Every structure is written in C-alpha cells, then in structure tokens.
Structure 1
Amino acid sequence: MKLIAISVGKPRTVKNELGEELRSGIFKNQVTEAYLTKDGFDNDGVADLKHHGGLDRAVCMYSVEHYRSWSKEFRMDFPVSAIGENLLVENMLEENIHIGDRFSIGEAIIEVTQGRIPCNTINQRTGIKPLMKRMIETGHTGYLCRVIKEGRITNTDRIERIFEHPEKVTVSYAHSIYFYQKDSKEGIENILKVDELADEWRVKLEKMLSKIG
C-alpha cells in the first residue's frame, strides 16, 4: 500500500475541458502535506453539501491503477485528482478494501465507510461523457472514509491497515449489491451487518431491503 499524492481544494467556478462553467470542489491542487480534521482536510471542501462531504465522507480515496486503465481506454492523460480524490493510492483496490477497515496515515487514522457514488460532475470535469457510467460498470469508483484520529499527513507517509473488519465486506461487493443486485436479501443483509457503514448507505439499503419483503 502506498500514498501517491494528497490533493485539496475549496469549491470554485472553473471552465471544464469543454469550456463549460462548473462550480464544484472537484478541482483540487496537489500538496505535500495537509492537516486532516473530522470534517476533512484543511483548505478542502465541497459545493454540493447534499451529495458530498459530511463526517462519513470526509476523505475520498482513489487508486492510481484506475487512472492508468482510464488513460488507455480513453487515450488521454489524467491529472492527479481528475475525479476529485483527496488521496491517490496504490495497491488499495476496491476488491481488497473492506467497509470498516482502518488505516493509519501520518498522524491520522481513517475508516472506510462506503464506496463512492459517481456523479455527473466527473464527466463535466474531465470532458469524458461516458466516464461516470464506466466507473459504475467497472466498480472503479474509489471509496470514502471518516476520520477516527485527526492529524497531519505528508505525501511521504506510509499507509498501514491497522484494522481489518471481520465481516470482510469489500467495497467491490457493496458496490455490486447497491447497483446491480438490489433484490439480493442476503447481500443487503451482509452489508448492513457492518456497523461502520455510512448512515446514508444504511438508510438506502434498509429501504431496498423493505421492498424485497
């Protein structure tokens, strides 16, 4: 497991790759260090508070392996934080990371709460209209975390998994149930066993479960 880059940015209005104006916190700048609080990184933020941010979604992580794949598929270079992640990492793919896992990075400790649900802002940011759809199809969405311990993180810090959740519900598994197996009673119940699951996902999954009967 390796930390590749740290990126932060306040919401701002920027012209995207197509020349369209977009106000979002997805446009971030790479930094060598940043202080992480319960609410997220200092000098970082979101524009859409309904769908982004909050204690359960304080940190967004994404794998550099996915950028390499997207670069080949779409034949273009992707800059760091092209999809708005705070931490770009390596060897931390969704199929190997569990909801409830805890990681130490520098002075901080974070806990995985949910997979990321991509939104159309990603398409607007990159100018690639199929990207959001492809992220959902592949499950290469990244994931979100809450902050267990605040502290400073530098881009040379090691990432260490200090707790592996015993339920072993991977981000990939949760993604497949959430998007493609909405009628899987067993699958939904497996995810709901994880107490560390983000509240918003818990509410949505409980509604899905109630519809199954």
Structure 2
Amino acid sequence: MRKLISLNVGEPKEYLFNGKAEKTGIGKKPVVSANLHKLGFDNDQVASTEYHGGVDRAVCLYPYEHYEQWEKEFNIKLPLPAFGENLTTTGMLEKDIYIGDTFEIGTAVIQVTQGRVPCAKISKFNGVDLLSRIMESCYTGYLFRVLEEGVIHDDSTIKLVDRVQEKYSILEANQIMLHDRKNVEAIEEMLQIKELATVWKNTLGNMLEKIK
C-alpha cells in the first residue's frame, strides 16, 4: 500500500563537514502541509542548481523501506528525512515505479522523470558512507515534474493515475545509468520514453555517442 510517511521541506543551510563549511539543502524538516508549484514546494530550495532542482526535478522521493536496511547495515538511527527527500513513502520502491508514472497526491499531480543521482552530501550529512552503497544498490530514490500544482498534506493519499510504459522501472533505469553504460539497446529504448527528464536524455545521448 502506498503511504506518505513524511512530507519534508527546507532551505539550504551551511554545515560543517570534516571542518569544511558547505551549503546544502539536504537538511529538510517534516511539515504538516506544503504548496507545490512547477519548480517545487514553498520554502524548499536546492543549493546546487546544476545537479538538483528545476522543472524535471521539482520533487524528490525516497522509499522508507530502505531506512531499515541502512540502519541495520551501518548500525545507526537515521532521522526523517535522512536523504533530503521531500516525500518519504512506503509501497513505492524503485523496482515498482516506472519512468513516466503519474501520481495524484493531495490536489497535486506529479510525474516520475528520473532516478536520483545522489551526491557525497548524503554520506557527510549522516556521518557514514551511504553514498557508495546507494550507488551500488541503485536504491537512490527518484524525482518528479509537477503536472498540476496543488497542496500536499502529510496524510494525503497517493494514487497512481497513469502508467505509460512497464519496461524501465527506476531500478532498471538506474542500473543502466550507473552500471550498464554500454547497453546500446537499453539506452536507445530509454531515449524513446518522452517523459524521461531532459538531463537524462542528454546523458544517455552522450553515452550512446561514446559507444558508437
């Protein structure tokens, strides 16, 4: 069953990681409700616009099921939200969600565009080397564009309203992007998914050029 566990927003702040000051938007906090617009939630920003944010990356989701796995593996307690995600959910694992899936949450409608490409701040923020395991496992979470602006509450239901293809789940797409970067057939097929984020289309196109 799909369920919203935590709704999270936050502005970028400066943190001290290993004695070095870095600005990041990873430190979000749970809220009761938030207005969602084409570029994201009110009171929610990213620090590095090159890698985060924008129309195709307006909302970030991370599956709550992974928290238990990482907590056991690293022997730590992870706070909500530990991965800088806006939506912490159950019932929405990467293997079960496909590029182009459209969901209604509250009065907003959002569409899956790409897997998240995590950065080192996930490890720095949580004090353990989560990044390497997230990349290895492809348990990255994923991103959405906003098709209809609206309001999401922390108890809003999540309803799948459209599924355009069932070949490339987030997990499959992550596998291609992170590990199987010379799979010409898969790359060509993914490029045909018009709902795929532009930045991933560009990356896949570059990968294809290098292969050929």
Q: Matched residue of 1:207: which SS?
A: helix
Percentage of identical aligned residues: 45
Q: Post-superposition shift, 1:20?
A: 5.0
Which residue does 1:207 correspond to in 2?
206
Partner of 1:164: 163
**SS where residue 197 of structure 1 aligns?**
coil
1:209 shift after superposition: 0.9
- How many Å apart are 1:106 and its aligned residue? 0.3
How far has the Cα of 1:21 moved from its partner? 3.2
The aligned runs of 1:96-115 (5 Å cut-off) are 96-115=96-115
SS at match of 1:71: helix
* Change in CA separation of 1:154 and 1:3 when aligned onto 2, cut-off 3 Å: same
Deviation at 1:179, TM superposition (A): 1.2
Q: Deviations over 1:103-139 (max 9, x none)?
A: 00000000000000010111111111x2101001011
1:59-98 residue pairs with structure 2 within 5 A? 59-98=59-98
Q: CA deviation at 1:42?
A: 0.2
Question: What are the Cα deviations for residues 148-170 of structure 1, in whole angstroms up to 9, with x where unaligned?
Answer: 00000001110011001225310
Q: Distance in 2 between matches of 1:20 and 1:7?
A: 26
Q: Deviations over 1:62-113 (max 9, x none)?
A: 0000111100001111011111000000010000000000000000000000
Matched letter for residue 26 of structure 2:
I
- Residue correspondence of structure 1 range 1-213 to structure 2 within 5 A: 1-15=2-16, 21-128=21-128, 130-213=129-212
2:119 and 2:10 mapped to 1: Cα distance?
18
Paired residues of 1:22 and 1:124 also in contact (CA < 8 A): no
Q: Is the 1:167–1:194 Cα contact (8 Å) retained in structure 2?
A: no
- Take 2:177 and 2:16, find their aligned partners in 1: how far apart are those partners? 33
Q: Secondary structure at the match of 1:104?
A: strand
How far is the alpha carbon of 1:22 from its aligned partner?
Answer: 2.8
Q: Which structure 2 residue ranges, 5 or more long, are not aligned?
A: none
4+ long deviations beyond 6 Å: none
Contact 2:98 2:165 survives alignment (8 Å): no
- RMSD of Structure 2 on Structure 1 (CA): 1.2
| Partner amino acid, structure 2, of 1:138 | S
| Counterpart code for 1:196 | E
Partner AA of 1:83 in structure 2: F
CA distance in 2 between partners of 1:171 and 1:158 (Å) = 21
Structure 1 63/154 Cα, relative in aligned 2: closer, same or farther at 3 Å? Answer: same
Aligned length, in residue pairs: 211
